Amino acid sequence: MLTARNLVRIGLDRASSPVEWRISQELVPYEAALAAMDERATAITDGAAPELVWLLEHPPLYTAGTSAKAEGRIAPRFPVHSAGRGGQLTYHGPGQRVVYLMLDLKRRGPDVRRFVATLEEWISRTVAHFKVVSERRQDRIGVSLRRCEKGPGREHKIAAIGIRIKRWVTLHGVALNVDCDLSHYAGIVPCGVSQPHYGVTSFADLGLAVTTAEVDAVLRREFEHLFGAAGNG
The highest-level CATH class for domain 4-231 is: alpha beta
For the chain, give the mean pLDDT. 88
C-alpha to C-alpha distance for 119 and 161, rounded to whole angstroms: 8
- Say what the pTM is: 0.90
Distance of CA 140 to the CA centre of its chain: 14
The predicted model gives 123-151 an average pLDDT of 81
pLDDT at 9 over 50: no
- Kindly tell me if the per-residue pLDDT of 1 is higher than 50: no
CB 173 within 8 A of CB 161: yes
Which residues lie below 8 Å from residue 26, measured CB to CB, with a gap of 6+?
Answer: none
What is the per-residue pLDDT for 189?
Answer: 79
Considering Cα of 34, then 53, then 199, then 211, what sign does the dihedral take? negative
Annotated active-site residue in 116, 191, 193, 219 = 191
Q: Would you tell me how many other CB atoms lie within 10 Å of the CB of residue 186? A: 14
In this predicted structure, the answer to whether residue 191 has a pLDDT above a threshold of 70 is no
Active-site residue flag, 180: no
Is the pLDDT at 15 greater than 50? The verdict is no
Whole-number Å distance between alpha carbons of 102 and 49: 10
pLDDT the model gives residue 68: 84
Report the alpha-carbon distance of residue 29 to residue 44 in Å, rounded: 23
Query: Model confidence at 49, in pLDDT bands (50, 70, 90)?
Result: very high
pLDDT greater than 50 at residue 206:
yes
Q: What pLDDT band is residue 192 in, cutting at 50, 70 and 90?
A: low
Length of the chain: 233
